[in-house]
Structure 1
């Protein structure tokens, strides 16, 4: 039994069947990539994991608990964090403040100050946030305004914001989208470091260099259906993948 189990998930939007009997078994501590052409249903599937969409039928279980019918903030609190295609940061705040906000939210469910404990708690949160920035090599920029960062550093900051919440499962939707190759390679190295922490990762990504650098297993979606799931070495030469994903061209 995996840490994330998806069974028989279907999702329809009017006459369009976005997901068709999707089954996945994501093993704890693994990096599992989901690839496929545009419109294959990848983001729809991810949204079913985090409470943004409810499947028409099927089940989504995380660590033995159903994720269906749970508010997104509760899904986050039980150990699921998501990285979006465009980094979700507080652009007008400093890096340290960006990381402190989710650290507060992890404890209280929201960013709020309690007069009875605010001084001591804020000091703890500040230290925790600074430690996380240091682990990701950003402590020297702690007082910089987040909106002034490069695309790659914005992604690194967003990952710090996720990791300070101590997730068991990290969902990454196109984590290197819009990056130059140098930033992409730096992000790959960072995600490899995160994987060594034992955090399970599900990665949606179009860049095959990223996918084959990171993934332990790959599921291929086409027209809402998982057509293949295998280790990366077997995915490259699979004729079903070549036909559905690249029109017969080799990966």
Structure 2
């Protein structure tokens, strides 16, 4: 009975991706439950970022399909997928370096309404105050309110990543994809980001996280899928994955347990 009530918001169905002779993804079947945090982990070169790029439309799968909230994403352009409620924080932050931090966070809110980052300034004016106030509240949440008038290009890498997270949050996505969200951050900033992501989860947002830091993974994940060689080799609850011999072999040659430090 419990299985029937699960709401699968994202389904990656039998996805393959080839680059010439390289089979980067094979037989990927993945279900992400609404309101949950689903982590995707694996050694370098396992296919994690390729999978996220397929989900958001940056790469077309060789075969298979991606379905979000009952709608097929395969064949849609990235901005169309974003308009459906899917937002992504990239491994390398994608920002407007010549704008201020506040302007960076406000811009996606206008684009979300006007579509494909075509911002109608005249129409935008009637909501500017509302959007500014929301952007400032989100910057406060991510710890950047004191930098709101700074040029984004002058931020540290860790602060750029937090700003990009704010740029996603102001869009009110139904699904948030995070590719190495704490890369380049100190342990203090990493823990602050973990606390923020827990707060976001409490509001009901579904998240898919790719992360190398096991401290982050085991602090946040409800479910973990492990990629190795472009295939899912293990999947389950964090404790099950932590103790899986297959996972230990993929990461460490079976010599050690996978631990959060």
What is the TM-score normalised by the length of structure 2?
Answer: 0.91
Q: Which of these residues, 98, 116, 130, is aligned with residue 104 of structure 2?
A: 98
Partner SS state of residue 233, structure 2: strand
Q: Distance in 2 between matches of 1:82 and 1:118?
A: 24
Backbone CA RMSD of aligned residues: 1.5
Distance 1:111 1:208, change over 3 A: same
Partner SS state of residue 3, structure 1: strand
Within 5 A, what are the aligned runs for 1:122-137? 122-137=128-143
Partner of residue 67, structure 1: 73
Gaps of 5+ in 2: 1-6
Q: Distance in 2 between matches of 1:22 and 1:118?
A: 41
Gaps of 5+ in 1: none
Q: Which of these residues, 5, 11, 19, is aligned with residue 25 of structure 2?
A: 19
After TM superposition, where is structure 1 displaced by more than 6 Å over at least 4 residues in a row?
A: none
Partner SS state of residue 165, structure 2: helix
- Is 1:209 the counterpart of 2:212? The answer is no
Distance 1:208 1:114, change over 3 A: closer
Partner of residue 199, structure 1: 205
2:158 and 2:183 in contact (8 A); partners too: no
- Aligned residue pairs total 250
1:152 and 1:184 in contact (8 A); partners too: no
Q: Which of these residues, 113, 136, 139, is aligned with residue 120 of structure 2?
A: 113
Q: Which of these residues, 185, 192, 212, is aligned with residue 191 of structure 2?
A: 185
1:220 and 1:241 in contact (8 A); partners too: yes
- Is 1:50 the counterpart of 2:52? The answer is no
